[in-house]
Amino acid sequence: MAGSSEEAPDYGRGVVIMDSWPGYDLDLFTYPQHYYGDLDYVLIPHGIIVDRIERLAKDILKDIGYCDIVILCVLKGGYKFCADLVEHLKNISRNSDRFVSMKVDFIRLKSYRNDQSMGEMQIIGGHDLSTLAGKNVLIVENQAFLQKRKLAQQNHMYIIDVVGTGKTMKVLLSSIKKYKPNMIKVASLLVKRTPRSDGFRPDYVGFEIPNLFVVGYALDYNEYFRDLNHICVINEHGKEKYRV
């Protein structure tokens, strides 16, 4: 791992949620009434998400050191993860002896329709990506994957995402890598165990989950469920109700 000569912990799997995990009963939590009947169960409660992200922030700064960062948030699903992670990074910086500058910019990737990944990906918005050359970049994304690579350690590009089939992140990387950030690190809130992935393991992972279509915590189903704080599994009734 960057910035340490000692044997680093294995962040590759994060908190592992097994296929047999039944989840939490919805009646144990509060959630928007307009989603009553649309969900199977709570997979990860909001409080656990926030606590895990706080730990990821500590692991990232401990591992790579206190480097200035350009944060590239991929809308829309990544904004909650981005906001909470950045807040924790700022809190750590605020209580340290070195200020860490963080600049935020936004792009959008279109990858899902209903509960299926589309064949073609679109990148929308964002400023001139050439300004990322030589910068320490933190990318926060909704559904993505990427190929691992090893570059120099002086500067860092950090990719924060929810790892899906890999197509979205490959499109993003193909557009960004030509601007030559010196290092790419990957931190993912969720990693799905799916046969469609190519086996890549991010450097930092919040949760490894079964191959389920999850919603909540800004992860949507056709723009619904972004206002759900917990990460939940949508049921067939919900899919049909909000299908486009």
Strand order in the sheet with 102-113: 15-16, 204-209, 184-192, 157-163, 137-140, 69-75, 102-113, 116-124
Residue 76 DSSP class: T
Sequence-separated (6 or more) residues with CB below 8 Å from residue 45: 24, 29, 230
The predicted pLDDT at position 229 comes to: 95
Could you tell me if 230 and 23 are in contact, meaning their C-beta atoms sit under 8 angstroms apart?
Answer: no
Q: Three-state DSSP class for 97?
A: coil
Beta-ladder partners of 122: 110
Query: 25-29, 73-77, 151-155, 178-182: which range is least confident on average?
Result: 151-155
Instruction: Kindly report, residue by residue over 88-147, the tens digit of the pLDDT.
Output: 989 998 888 888 888 888 877 765 555 555 555 666 766 677 888 888 777 776 443 322
The predicted pLDDT at position 100 comes to: 82
DSSP string, 143-205: SB--------SSS-EEEEEEE-SSHHHHHHHHHHGGG--S-EEEEEEEEE--TTS-----SEE
pLDDT band at residue 4 using 50, 70 and 90 as cut-offs = very low
Could you tell me if 56 and 90 are in contact, meaning their C-beta atoms sit under 8 angstroms apart?
Answer: no
Could you tell me if 69 and 101 are in contact, meaning their C-beta atoms sit under 8 angstroms apart?
Answer: yes
Instruction: Kindly report, residue by residue over 18-77, the tens digit of the pLDDT.
Output: 999 999 999 999 999 999 999 999 999 999 999 999 999 998 888 777 788 888 777 777
The β-bridge relationship of strands 39-44 and 15-16 is unpaired
pTM of the model: 0.77
Beta-ladder partners of 209: 192
Could you tell me if 163 and 180 are in contact, meaning their C-beta atoms sit under 8 angstroms apart?
Answer: no
**Which of 26-30, 182-186, 204-208 has maximum average pLDDT?**
26-30
Could you tell me if 23 and 207 are in contact, meaning their C-beta atoms sit under 8 angstroms apart?
Answer: no
pLDDT band at residue 194 using 50, 70 and 90 as cut-offs = confident
